[in-house]
Copies of this chain bind each other. A is one copy, B any other.
Amino acid sequence: MNDFPTPQAVRGADLQQALLRPRSVALYGASDDVRKMGGRPVQFLQRSGFAGRLYPINPVRTVVQGLPAWPNLRALPEVPDHVFVLTPTETVLDAVRECGELGVKVVTVLASGFSESGPEGQAREAALLAMAKRHGVRLLGPSSLGVVHPATGLVLTANAAFAEPDVPPGKVFVASHSGSMIGALVSRGKARGVGFAGLVSVGSEVDLNIGEICSATLDDPEIGGYLLFLESMRHGQQLREFALAAQRAGKPVLAYKLGRSAAAAEMATTHTGALAGEDDVADAFLRDLGVARVGVLEALLETYPLAQRIPLGRPLRRVGVVTTTGGGAAMVVDQLGIRDIEVQGPSAATLQRLADAGLPCTPGRVLDLTLAGTQYATMKGALAILQSAPEFDLVLAVVGSSARFSPELAVKPIIEAAAEGTPLAAMLVPDAPQALAALTAAGVPCFRSPEACADAIAALAHRRMPRPELALTLPDLQGARPLSEAQAYTVLDRLGVPHAPHALVPLDAPVPALPFAYPVVAKVCSAQIPHKTEVGGVLLNLQDARQLQSALGTLRARLREHAPAIEVRDALIQPMCQGLGEVLVGYRVDPETGPMVMLAAGGIWAEIARDRSLRMAPVSVATAHEMMDEVRALQALRGLRGKACGDLQALAEAISALSQLARHPEWRVAEAEVNPMLVLPEGQGVLAVDALITQA
């Protein structure tokens, strides 16, 4: 709804220019007092040497912080590219109207008090959006702390953190749901020698959202990669389009997303009004789009250089470690291990090459140089051999005390070796800011904690190459309603998802001959009763026609009692089926992330352990097998303890088949859940014995 292309809406290169490289900026409500929110941007822009023209707007002053001030936007000698509205909530609509009438391209709104603050705010937001749409002006915010673009000195922000004039320039573009985080990132980046190509506080994304903003900047050669700070997964469609375009452009995307715990998910959504998404859905979405999701704050700053060296699609599974400190290396190995990245030792051939070169060559999970003493030649030689060994996707050098005192011993050879061979990264165990700075300046991926190091490697390793079929347009499926179970099976038939045979039998007539043998199960069949057991509408294990006849009477009685207002004519009869095990296979068009497919443990385990795997739909049979590897309960169907194997190939085919719903938006299926899907012994297939589908 918030995505409204109008003929005149500013997009693409125009948007990028007005947003990041405006030739002229007006500060609507600029204050002479630098301590006030409205005074900060005037000060910051002057200090940072903003190259464009700057117009403070103030109805009562002719000079603001030494600059000539203007009473209103119409009085300006030109139409500014970008207006930053610093005035209170109540005045925002008027300001945006004025901008629109003049033809301003981008308006950034600082004030809060819109949809997050109740019905009145929602009305205000709707009016704001309509106003912007009418004029084709693009809005950043409300609740945006602004935009920073170091290359042009554009420090267009009310964030107090930018009181320091020297925003470090770099290659990473930051877009953040949290305005305060852009300040925190800049200060931490400065301490760490890491700079930024730009930073945008996107606020509540009423018009411009993270995906569209980042997409508009993709052809900027000054931008090497992206860093997203996400509070929720809102505007998933644009995020998806951006991520796919970024992958094509070869620019890595990193993301930190709040909401790993239920508490924080709730917080993030309460204060923005967004829907609480499930974290594993967000995780699957980001991974499938090739976005590296980091979980450690410091890794936000430290991951990009490694992402540059390990582009999407390049494998990152086999990590080799060389170290001058056993304990320090063990910390990193441990942190990698708990993130499912297993460090492996050099091969026999590589150990032999080390031995031939007179270098340490003790077999083990890491190559420990400790006993040889920390020497330039030792590290230099070891790196040359490890980086030319075929068994590693990444070589990680863990450096001890020498990094602080004698960087010429182990840090220098790392800097020299980083340009060639297998990608190389460094983790420094002591506090060694100068060595970190030297490594960072040389572009070598380097880390100041084992946690950030392992987090960065794992985040990159767990990315998946985006599949072209993910470039789907999401249907609007509001108001979807359930189908009856019988109707659901016709959808499964079209997809080729196997299900148990069934017959529809009138509830109030004699039982006909069935096309399958007894015993059977009888279920009330109605689109209005999606949860049959809640009305007592399922009767199992009926042995013959007599029992079935009696069961139909029971079902009628229960319907009268529990669902008197619903007219149900038929019962759905199925043979009793048994499998080796059961699973849940689901498909859902998530309002933010789009079509997702899920495989989960069946029965009671689905509730007790969150044992499930998710992907963006559709998925291939091969991907379905990957999903099965991620559900622990499935191990029970792999012949554990001498038990029979389930037909896992058939299950993979069924998962893939159900996920093909994503290719048929015209079927308008919002959700499809097969629960249970019975898994029969190997060679005998799988069988859906219940299905619930909702359709818009």
Contacts and interface: CB of A to CB of B under 8 A. Distances in A.
A675 to B, nearest CB: 13
B180 A231 contact: no
A337 B177 CA distance: 20
B333 A261 contact: yes
* Chain A facing B: main interface SS: helix
A178 B177 CA distance: 42
Contacts of A330: 178, 231, 258, 264, 267-268
Contacts of A258: 327, 330-331, 334
A296 interface: yes
A142 interface: no
Interface stretch (A128-136, A284-292, A604-612, A650-658): A604-612
Interface in A614-659: 632-633, 635-636, 640-641
A328 B364 contact: no
A371 B335 CA distance: 38
A141 to B, nearest CB: 15
B640 A607 contact: yes
Question: How many monomers of this protein are in the complex?
Answer: 2
Interface stretch (A426-434, A499-507, A553-561): A426-434
Nearest to A180: B325
B326 A271 contact: yes
Contacts of A430: 161, 183-184, 187-188
A229 B343 CA distance: 22
Interface stretch (A401-409, A490-498, A520-528, A536-544): A401-409
A100 interface: no
Nearest to A324: B180
Interface string A253-277: 0000011111110111011000000
Interface string A434-457: 000000000000000111000000
Contacts of A180: 324-328, 370, 400-401, 429
A684 to B, nearest CB: 21
A161 B635 contact: no
A297 B267 CA distance: 28
Nearest to A37: B373
A177 B330 CA distance: 12
A563 interface: no
Contacts of A633: 608
A671 interface: no
Given A159-B401, A264-B330, A430-B161, A636 B325 contact: no
Size band of the A side of the interface? Answer: 35 or more
A152 interface: no
Contacts of A325: 178, 180-181, 184
Contact of A267 (B260, B271, B364): B364
A342 interface: yes
B431 A264 contact: no
A368 B187 contact: no
B401 A184 contact: yes
Interface in A162-189: 163-164, 176-181, 183-184, 187-188
Contact of A333 (B159, B263, B401): B263
A646 B342 CA distance: 40
Contact of A338 (B261, B270, B298, B640): B261
Contacts of A371: 112
Given A183-B401, A636-B608, A338 B260 contact: yes
Contacts of A609: 609, 611, 632
A109 B632 CA distance: 48
Given A190-B431, A260-B337, A327 B449 contact: no
A365 interface: yes
Contacts of A268: 330
19 contacts: A164-B405, A178-B328, A180-B324, A180-B328, A184-B429, A187-B432, A190-B431, A258-B327, A258-B330, A261-B335, A263-B336, A263-B343, A263-B365, A264-B333, A267-B330, A271-B368, A297-B450, A604-B636, A608-B640
Question: A-B pairs with the 9 shortest C-beta distances?
Answer: A261-B337, A178-B327, A264-B334, A161-B401, A180-B325, A187-B430, A191-B431, A187-B431, A263-B337
Given A263-B334, A267-B365, A297-B451, 18 more contacts: A160-B401, A161-B400, A161-B405, A164-B405, A176-B327, A180-B429, A184-B328, A188-B430, A262-B337, A263-B333, A263-B337, A264-B334, A297-B449, A451-B451, A607-B635, A608-B633, A609-B609, A609-B632
